[in-house]
Amino acid sequence: MGALVGLGVGIGLMLIWSAFFVPRQPRRAARVDGRGAQLLARAGLGEVSPAAFALLCLVCGVVVALVIQVVSRTAPVAVAFGAMGAYLPIAVVSGRARRRQREFAEVWPEAVDNLASAVRAGMSLPDALSGLAIRGPEPLRDAFDAFALDYQVTGRFGESLDRLKVRLADPVGDRVVEGLRIAREVGGGELGRLLRNLSGYLRDDARTRSELESRQAWTVNGARLAVAAPWLVLLFMSFQSEVIRRYSSPEGAFVLGVGAVLCLAAYRLMMRIGRLPTERRILS
């Protein structure tokens, strides 16, 4: 009887300790899954932490501000270019994410066709997906190579698919993965037809989006040039100390601030008007 009482007391103390001292994983995951982490994942830089990326932005901004301050000796101008320098890593990563998504949109039909052929030939879904690491399109091979290793080590198809979605960070990839998951769980006999229909839809969508982007490219480039031109002139003026020091006065700083706000607002408005609808990751 005493042993049972002691065992009950021990279990109760252990439960109390776990309630107060064991870290809560869901909250941690919710904190990490922010906009910075999503941007890095879409760019294929999921191994980079958001804190390190924020530190890189801060360092770039400080370095650019110091260089402009040494050249122009005008604090408002240095602050303006420092803000641009801090945004530069974000612009680079955003461009990388857009290029990566366009590459995926172009090669997903080929990957889906490969899957359909493998399924039609009698291969299992895990083997067909693992085969994309060798026979699939080049931009997708690394992700499917990691999937093949995960499945080989764990043997858990669902968890391997979840990690594949995280590596891809692509809305089309989410749909393909979830379709394969459902087919695996319910025994989809129409998987081949589903993959062929999906391949045709993806090709039509990629073709239409490519035509629209090519037609609006000159508008987007014109907007970027119009926004960058005044700041390039200001950068060249930084080497003329008599002229650039006019911005060190309160009036000059006010003009500089108003110009920055107007340029940013006009550029954001132009990009918002001409932006094509992007597919969201509703299945992530």
Measure the CA–CA gap between 263 and 256, rounded to whole angstroms.
11
Measure the CA–CA gap between 113 and 195, rounded to whole angstroms.
7
Tens of pLDDT, residue by residue over 50-77, are 999 999 999 999 999 999 999 888 889 9
Look up tokens 């043997």; give the residue.
155
The answer, as to whether pTM is greater than 0.85, is no
Q: Provide the token pair at 65.
A: 């501000």
C-alpha distances (whole Å) from 226 to each of 18, 180, 250 are 59, 47, 26
Spatial contact of 81 and 64, defined as CB atoms under 8 Å apart:
yes
At 76, the amino acid letter reads P
Tens of pLDDT, residue by residue over 82-130, are 999 999 999 999 989 988 988 888 888 888 888 888 888 888 888 888 8
Q: Taking the C-alpha atoms of 184, 185, 191 and 196 in order, what is their torsion angle to the nearest 10 degrees?
A: -80
Between these two residues, 258 and 6, which has the higher pLDDT value? 258
Tens of pLDDT, residue by residue over 215-245, are 777 777 877 888 888 899 988 888 887 788 8
Instruction: Check residue 2 and give its pLDDT.
Output: 53
**pLDDT greater than 60 at residue 29:** no
Spatial contact of 111 and 136, defined as CB atoms under 8 Å apart:
yes
